[in-house]
Amino acid sequence: MIILITGITSGFGRAMAERLSADGHTVYGTHRRDCGQIPGVHYIKADVGSEEDCRAAVQQVLDEQGRIDVFINNAGMGIGGPLEFSTLKQAELQMDTNWMGMVRCLHWVLPAMRRQKGGRIICFSSIGGLMGLPFQGLYSASKFAIEGYCEALRMEVRAHGIDVVVIEPGDFATAFTASRQSVADPEAHEAYPSYARSLASIEKDETGGLKPEFLAKKISRIVKARRPRYHYIISTLEQRLSVLLKAILPPSWFAAILRSYYHL
């Protein structure tokens, strides 16, 4: 299969590119900065924040291979902090990267898949796209947007033989933790004393989380599946149970559980 992945510099993207290439697929991946390259993987310098970069990346794959069988929207970033103290520029950056980056790429991928009468779109959301996480509100909002977009898209493209799969990872040990932008305003810490405790808890969970190779193995199976599910929660059992609890408990009860977990 011909596969295009956004954001293969590190973490999920690199692990997926390595695994899918080893599976025998032809893998293309976008990157913004120079990085060690995986033998056999085709690297395309592109920023999902640029419409022209997204168009050129998709066109390069089509020019060289004639089709795109699987598109994996992986590129993303996180901004943490009290919503009151998050700037409007941070809100714009969070949505522009995580949600609009996906939209820009799909703007060019979808016509190609419709013409070839088939394809598979795999978009990365998060467990944070299923529940609003304290002090990660901007990140959760961007992932909620992906959930809604993909839910609508799935119904629209079904008649064209295109599958839409949403991946909802839990905590993983990747460079995402170190690269997260966090509100550092002293007033934010004064106004929200629980912010520092929550952030420390979040980072501890992430650094002690699953390895990206675990997720890459799951993606390998999803790419091969004849009829993939709409959603895949890839996480620890505890985090999968949290999604179930949100679905069955009264909202106030579940909020109380989250507040306790995040030391609010």
Active site residues: 139
- Cα separation values, 121 from 79, 160, 197, 251, 259, Å: 25, 13, 37, 32, 35
Q: Residues 50, 64, 215, 195: what is their CA dihedral angle, to the nearest 10 degrees?
A: -10
Q: Give the H or E element holding residue 168.
A: strand 162-169
As a whole number of angstroms, the distance between CA 19 and CA 34 comes to 20
As a whole number of angstroms, the distance between CA 156 and CA 148 comes to 13
Q: Residues 231, 53, 162, 148: what is their CA dihedral angle, to the nearest 10 degrees?
A: 40
DSSP conformation letters of 177-213 = HHH-EE---HHHHHH-THHHHHHHHHHHHHHTSB-HH
Q: Is 230 left (phi over 0), alpha (psi -120 to 50) or beta?
A: alpha
| Residue 247 CB neighbours (<10 A) | 10
CA within 13 Å, CB half, 231: 16
